Amino acid sequence: IILHFNITVTVLAIFHDLHVDSKLYALVFGESVLNDAVAIVLYSSILTYSPYSGEGEGVFDAAALFRSIGIFIGIFIGSFAIGCLMGLLTALISLFVINIENSYIT
């Protein structure tokens, strides 16, 4: 799978040169990452649908469709859980570092 992040990289580079607000920068970056993640999940779901469709090309197979939807939901939930854990870990590390810095100041 080929991801097109050259447009986003260009926009983010221009934002950096123009000193755009960091919130806008983060929103554009987050949207880019989300689009890439959705593309990867949809691509993998479509690939898994193809082998399960045993009746030949052009024939709808409901069981294969539900397997693909299940795989999509499984990847989504797993990715969401990993993202939440990483966000929590980052927040705890940041809190710990800030508390250490504040203890040295006072």
Q: Return d(Cα 63, Cα 88) in angstroms, integer.
A: 37
pLDDT for the residue numbered 88: 94
Q: Are 28 and 11 in contact (CB under 8 A)?
A: yes
Tell me the two tokens of residue 87: 């966000």
Burial class (CB in 10 A: 0-12, 13-18, 19+), 68: buried
Q: Return d(Cα 27, Cα 73) in angstroms, integer.
A: 25
What are the tens digits of pLDDT across the range 65-100? Answer: 788 888 888 888 988 899 899 999 999 998 888 777
